[in-house]
């Protein structure tokens, strides 16, 4: 499964900006300092897994399904990158479970 790090290394400038933006949504200890990249990586993986879980039963191989989910997750990051008010959907989901 692709990681944020790999997406950044291999991606276009737009993908790099989207990865950095996603990382910024996961600050270390709630501060405005450096992103918590471990948490951002986990949440990106969970996002891919959530997308795979909502897909129709696979008619293709598992590798094709994973690749499609990775592309959709990257598409999500690109779509919300320019929105200053977006929140990580995994963070939101977890906060709902705590309430």
The per-residue pLDDT for range 43-94, each reduced to its tens digit, is: 999 999 999 886 666 666 778 888 889 999 999 999 999 888 889 999 998 8
pLDDT of residue 78: 96
Q: How many domains does the chain have?
A: 1
**pLDDT for residue 4 is more than 90:** yes
Cβ–Cβ < 8 Å for 77, 21? yes
Residue 80 CA to residue 99 CA, distance in Å, equals 25
pLDDT of residue 38: 95
In 3D space, the residue among 3, 7, 25 whose CA is nearest the CA of residue 16 turns out to be 7
pLDDT of residue 58: 60
Distances (CA, A) of 35 to 21, 28, 48: 10, 5, 20
pLDDT of residue 29: 79
H helix runs in 28-88, sequence order: 37-54, 62-80
**pLDDT for residue 99 is more than 60:** no
What is the domain extent for residue 63?
A: 4-98
Q: Report the Cα 44 to chain-centroid distance in Å.
A: 3
């Amino acid at each position: 499964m692709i990681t944020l790090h790999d997406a950044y290394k291999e991606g276009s400038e737009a993908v790099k900006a989207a990865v950095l933006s996603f990382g910024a949504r996961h600050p270390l200890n709630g501060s405005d300092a450096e992103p918590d990249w471990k948490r951002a990586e986990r949440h990106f993986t969970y996002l891919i897994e959530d997308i795979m879980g909502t897909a129709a039963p696979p008619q293709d191989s598992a590798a094709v399904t994973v690749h499609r989910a990775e592309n959709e997750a990257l598409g999500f990051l690109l779509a919300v990158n320019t929105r200053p008010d977006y929140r990580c959907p995994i963070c939101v989901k977890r906060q709902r479970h705590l309430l």
